Every structure is written in structure tokens, then in C-alpha cells.
Amino acid sequence: MDTARITHQGELRTEVLHVRSSQRFITDAPVDNQGRGEAISPTDMLAASLAACMLTTMDIKARASGIELRDMSAAVVKHMAANPRRVQKVEVVIELAGANLSATERELMERTAHTCPVALSLHPDLVQETRFVYR
């Protein structure tokens, strides 16, 4: 079974269908590359995928370890290189209510984030900067 089906809509836009869930979304080329920027770009999606994967794998590991994670969120900033045009760096800031986490639990969560499947799948030249903010 296909994971996703992507249909070109014209005008630098695609529609992505996630087959299993039937969820659909639109992508646009970014404004700095001839696009309208009215929807997420494929490179923005790559950056967001990294952060989403980090949060998801942290949640999985926390559940398996009996750790309660609360109020977890992430913000990402994507940096592009010009020649060749590619994502050069992704900055991820993960915030969570961490006053109840021990140093060992924090280390486990951070290691888990850094080794999520998306992080391990990205080219080693892509710089991944991750910062954790415990509130």
C-alpha cells in the first residue's frame, strides 16, 4: 500500500493524500523560490517533520519508561543554502514542563529526540541544532 499520493495541482502547488488516514493537505513552493507561500513548502515540511518526530519518539519513550511528559511543544527554524539549493540547518527548540524530570530522565528524553527516525534519516551535512527548555 502506498504511504502517500501526491498530485501536482499546477502553479507550483501539490496536494498530498496520506493514504491510511485519508488526510489531505496542500504544499506550495516557498515565496523565496517563486511560490505563493500560501501553504507549507516541502522544505518547511521536512523541518516540521524533524520536530514532530522528536516529540513523538520522546512521548513513546516516556510512556515505556513511566515518565510523565506535559505541555510539550516545539518550534523550528529552517535555513536554506543557495548553491545547491537545499536545507542547510534546522533549529529545533523543544519546550516542556520539566520541573518533575530528573537529570537522568532529561538525558533520556534528549537522547531519544536526537535519535528519532527522521533525525537519523537526514543527510549528515544538514545541521540539526536542538535546544531543550524545561519549564
Asked if pLDDT for residue 114 goes beyond 80, the answer is: yes
Q: How confident is the model at residue 45 (pLDDT cuts 50, 70, 90)?
A: very high
What's this model's pTM, rounded to 2 decimal places?
A: 0.94
Helix (H) or strand (E) holding 45: helix 42-65
Pinpoint the residues of the chain covered by CATH 3.30.300.20. 42-134
Instruction: Domain 42-134: give its CATH code.
Output: 3.30.300.20
Residue that has been written with the C-alpha cell 496520506 in this structure? 18
Q: Say what the pLDDT of residue 54 is.
A: 98
Q: Say what the pLDDT of residue 98 is.
A: 78
Residues 6+ apart with CB under 8 A from 79: 87, 88, 89, 90, 91
Q: Which amino acid is at 67?
A: I
Residue that has been written with the C-alpha cell 502506498 in this structure? 2
